[in-house]
Amino acid sequence: MTSRLNASEEEALRLDAADPGQRDLFHIPPADGGRFAEAAYFAGNSLGLQPKAIRIDLLEDLADWQRLGVEGHTEARRPWMPYHELLTETAARLVGARPEETVAMNSLTVNLHLLMVSFYRPRGERVRLVIEDSAFPSDSYAVRSQARFHGLDPDDAVVRLRPRAGEDTLRTEDVLDFLAREGHTVALVMLGGVNYLTGELMDIPTITAAGQAAGAVVGWDLAHAAGNVPLQLHDWGVDFAAWCTYKYLNSGPGAVAGAFVHERHLGDSDLQRFEGWWSTEAKTRFLMAPVSTPPAKADAWQISNPPVLAMGPVRTSLELFDQVGMDALRERSERLTGYLERLLDEVTPTRPITVVTPRDPARRGCQLSLRIGSGSAADLAARLRHEHGVVTDAREPDIIRVAPVPLYSTFHDCWRAADALATAVAEDK
């Protein structure tokens, strides 16, 4: 089959030989169409692929349950009682935090709610919650419900920051300008570190500093940032953050999430928290006392005992990130995404398809979002998958998201995606 790209398939294969990544550590789904056996998988921003080591580690945990029953809480090869602690240091290194500031627990939006219980404290004229207009719907629902919980009208209390007319991404200077003008009315700023729709990487340290200078608390939803871009949450002074682990962190559908609370808030008795059995000091847990004695660390935001069989895949995946390192992954990410961008530049002049993700590598993660000029994004994504074996995802009405994940995506995958898009474009003429 003749390619419609100027860049050759052979060039992509040569790049892979020189820069192979860790693809062999993952299970790659079979292609649903096209001439290749394996899919070119670009949906890791929705669900990451399965590391091969997860099955082995999970079977070990299951075997301990089979062999030990309840005694596995203390006698398993990875005892269940402190199991969540096995994830703490690797998670902390991943997001640039200290271990005492980091905890693996619950799911993303549950964690955001638990953190907002502590850090959204409207009083006087300082009542507003600030999010981006293109925030993931779950965040929109969460902040509106928090406003209602405090007896506020969410239509008044929630501020949605919008890009300038004719633009797709939110300029940092516009966020800073809003905070300079309106910061005295803001109780909480809670933006997405990497926007799920456009792939824009926000300037987390600059916005955090500006929000705090205005007197607000600043938290971050890092669902699309954790495992995608390097983070330094402690050094940036972020008040709190939460992230999921099933996207770039490859821990399985609905996997246990993570949370961060800066050390300056740890042990603060004035902070309100919802509490449960796992909120108290581990050494006093089985004294069965009626009053909690929470530790001065992020563990105090836990409520229930950890789901061990669900935490196992997170532990395995975090260890893989620890071995490879985020700096190395970020460098490979920029090479892959830059290569895909160059190929897409060959395609987009032939049809009104626009890359809405910032072209500056410093302002994006690995995802490129494409706005198609006509037709259905979902229909185009289906064609790419079923006719070419290229797995992307669609966000209606007109966005295709393509995410070359540096752990397992290849240059050849990128070439396949661009070639498939070029073919679809030509066929639609």
On whether residue 63 sits in a domain, the answer given is: no
Q: What is the 3-state secondary structure (H, E, C) of 175-218?
A: HHHHHHHHHHHEEEEEEECECCCCCEECCHHHHHHHHHHCCCEE
Better pLDDT: 4 or 150: 150
The tens digit of pLDDT for each residue in 78-137 reads: 999 999 999 999 999 999 999 999 999 999 999 999 999 999 999 999 999 999 999 999
Question: Are residues 43 and 86 both part of a single domain?
Answer: no
Paired sense of beta strands 186-192 and 128-132, if any: parallel
pLDDT the model gives residue 145: 98
Domain contains 169? yes
Domain residues for 289? 82-323
For position 296, which CATH number holds?
3.40.640.10
The answer on 343 and 307 residing in a single domain is no
Q: pLDDT grade, residue 350 (50/70/90)?
A: low
Q: How many CB atoms lie within 10 A of CB 314?
A: 26
427 pLDDT more than 80: no
Predicted confidence (pLDDT) per residue in 22-37, tens digit: 999 999 999 998 899 9
**Bond from prior residue into 397 cis (ω within 30 degrees of 0):** yes
The total of other beta-carbon atoms located within 10 Å of residue 252's CB is 21
The CATH number for 401's domain is 3.90.1150.10
In a domain, 401, yes or no: yes
CB atoms within 10 A of CB 68: 16
What pLDDT shows up at residue 3?
76
119 assigned to some structural domain: yes
3-state secondary structure of 396: coil
Give the pLDDT confidence score for residue 353 in this predicted structure. Answer: 84
pLDDT score of 168: 95
Distance of alpha carbon 207 from the chain centroid:
19
Q: Please check whether residues 263 and 338 belong to one and the same domain.
A: no
At residue 170 the predicted structure's pLDDT band, cuts being 50, 70 and 90, is very high
Flag whether pLDDT at 2 surpasses 70: no
Residues 121, 22, single domain; the answer is no
- Tell me the pLDDT band of 6, cut-offs 50, 70 and 90: confident
Q: SS3 for 387?
A: helix
pTM beyond 0.85: the answer is: yes
Position 4 scores a pLDDT of 75
Residue 171, classified by CB atoms within 10 Å of its CB into exposed (0-12), middle (13-18) or buried (19+), is middle
**Residue 86 C-beta-side C-alpha neighbours within 13 Å:** 18
Nearest of 107, 109, 152 to residue 129 by alpha carbon: 152
In angstroms, what CA-CA distances link 64 with 122, 315, 396? 48, 16, 45
Q: Which residue has the higher pLDDT, 97 or 286?
A: 97
Residue 3 lies in a domain: no
In this prediction, residue 351 carries a pLDDT of 64
What is d(CA 352, CA 399) in angstroms, rounded to the nearest whole number? Answer: 12
318 lies in the same domain as 330: no
Q: Which of 323, 346, 381 represents a domain boundary (last residue)? A: 323
* Average pLDDT taken over every residue of the chain: 95
Q: Give per-residue pLDDT as tens, 400-417.
A: 999 999 999 999 999 999
What one-character DSSP code corresponds to residue 380? H
- Order of strands, edge to edge, in the sheet holding 217-221? 102-104, 258-261, 240-243, 217-221, 186-192, 128-132, 158-161
Query: Same domain for 90 and 202?
Result: yes
| Structural domains counted in the chain | 2
pLDDT value at residue 429: 60
Residues 272 and 368 in one domain: no
Residue 57: inside a domain, yes or no? no
Q: Which residue bears the tokens 């990544």?
A: 21
Same domain, 364 and 397: yes
60 within some domain: no
On whether both 218 and 150 belong to a single domain, the answer is yes
- Alpha-carbon distance of 133 to 148, in angstroms, equals 19
214 φ/ψ sector (left φ>0, alpha ψ -120 to 50, else beta): alpha
- Which residue, 273, 298, 323, sits at the end of a domain? 323
pLDDT, position 5? 83
Residue 70 domain-assigned (yes or no): no
Do both 409 and 309 map to the same domain? no
Q: Do residues 235 and 360 both lie within one domain?
A: no
Shared-domain flag, residues 261 and 349 = no
CA-CA distance, 272 to 275, in Å (whole number)?
9
Q: List 129's β-bridge partners, or say none.
A: 158, 188
Question: Would you put residue 299 in left (φ > 0), alpha (ψ -120 to 50) or beta?
Answer: alpha
392 φ, ψ (degrees, to nearest 5): -120, -170
pLDDT at position 1 is 57
**Of 323, 351, 380, which residue sits at a domain end?**
323
pLDDT score of 428 more than 90? no
pLDDT, tens digit, for every residue of 197-233? 999 999 999 999 999 999 999 999 999 999 999 999 9
